[in-house]
Structure 1
Amino acid sequence: MPSAGVPPKSRREEYADATRQALISAAGELFASQGYQQVGIEAIARSARVTRGAFYHHFADKAELFDALVGALQEQAAAKVQAAARAAPKAKRISAGIREFLEVCCEPAYRQLVIETAPAVLGTARCREIEEAHVYGLLIDALVGPAGHNEKARANAYLAARMIGSMVCEAAQLLDNADDPVALKAEALKLVESMVGTLTPDKSRSGSARK
Structure 2
Amino acid sequence: MPTADAPPKSRREEYADATRQALISAAAELFAAEGYQQVGIEAIARSARVTRGAFYHHFADKAELFDALIESLQASAASRVKTAAAAASKAKRISAGIREFLEVCSEPVYRQLVIETAPAVLGAARSREIEETHVYGLLIHSLTASHAGSEKARMNAYLAARMIGSMVCEAAQLLDGADDPAALKAEALKLVERMVGTLTAEKSRATPARKSPRRLP
TM-score, normalised with respect to structure 1 = 0.93
User: What is residue 35 of structure 1 aligned with on the other side?
Assistant: 35
Letter of the aligned partner of 2:181 in structure 1? Answer: P
User: What is residue 65 of structure 1 aligned with on the other side?
Assistant: 65
What's the offset of the Cα at 1:203? 3.7
User: What is residue 139 of structure 2 aligned with on the other side?
Assistant: 139
Q: How far, CA to CA, are the matches of 2:118 and 2:74 in structure 1?
A: 11
1:1-150 matched pairs, under 5 angstroms: 1-148=1-148, 150=150
Aligned residues: 204
The percent of aligned pairs where both chains have the same amino acid is 81
What's the offset of the Cα at 1:150? 4.1
Contact residue 85 and residue 97 of structure 1 kept, 8 A: yes
Q: How far, CA to CA, are the matches of 2:63 and 2:194 in structure 1?
A: 38
| Residues 53-97 of structure 1: per-residue CA shift (max 9 Å, x gap) | 000011010000000000000000000000000000000000000
Are residues 1:193 and 2:193 paired? yes
Letter of the aligned partner of 1:130 in structure 2? Answer: I
User: What is residue 208 of structure 1 aligned with on the other side?
Assistant: none
Mark the runs of 5 or more structure 1 residues left unpaired by the alignment: 205-211
Moved over 4 A (4+): none
What's the offset of the Cα at 1:156? 1.8
Q: How far, CA to CA, are the matches of 2:65 and 2:115 in structure 1?
A: 17
Q: How far, CA to CA, are the matches of 1:63 and 1:161 in structure 2?
A: 28
Letter of the aligned partner of 1:92 in structure 2? Answer: K
TM-score, normalised with respect to structure 2 = 0.90
Q: How far, CA to CA, are the matches of 1:25 and 1:148 in structure 2?
A: 40
Letter of the aligned partner of 1:72 in structure 2? Answer: S
Letter of the aligned partner of 2:23 in structure 1? Answer: L
Q: How far, CA to CA, are the matches of 2:109 and 2:138 in structure 1?
A: 22
Q: How far, CA to CA, are the matches of 1:75 and 1:149 in structure 2?
A: 30
**CA-based RMSD:** 1.3
Contact residue 146 and residue 203 of structure 2 kept, 8 A: no
Q: How far, CA to CA, are the matches of 2:153 and 2:77 in structure 1?
A: 25
For 1:39, what is the secondary structure of its paired residue?
A: coil
What's the offset of the Cα at 1:186? 0.5
What's the offset of the Cα at 1:149? 5.5
Higher alpha-carbon Rg:
2
What's the offset of the Cα at 1:202? 4.8
Q: How far, CA to CA, are the matches of 1:5 and 1:193 in structure 2?
A: 42
Structure 1 stretch 151-160 or stretch 26-35: which is displaced more? 151-160
Contact residue 71 and residue 130 of structure 1 kept, 8 A: yes
Q: How far, CA to CA, are the matches of 1:96 and 1:6 in structure 2?
A: 34
User: What is residue 153 of structure 1 aligned with on the other side?
Assistant: 153
Structure 1 stretch 188-197 or stretch 147-156: which is displaced more? 147-156
Letter of the aligned partner of 2:141 in structure 1? Answer: D
Q: How far, CA to CA, are the matches of 1:97 and 1:61 in structure 2?
A: 34
Contact residue 175 and residue 184 of structure 1 kept, 8 A: yes
Contact residue 85 and residue 96 of structure 2 kept, 8 A: yes
User: What is residue 209 of structure 1 aligned with on the other side?
Assistant: none
Q: How far, CA to CA, are the matches of 2:146 and 2:164 in structure 1?
A: 20
Q: How far, CA to CA, are the matches of 2:87 and 2:124 in structure 1?
A: 32
Q: Which has the higher contact order (CA 8 A, sep 6+)?
A: 1
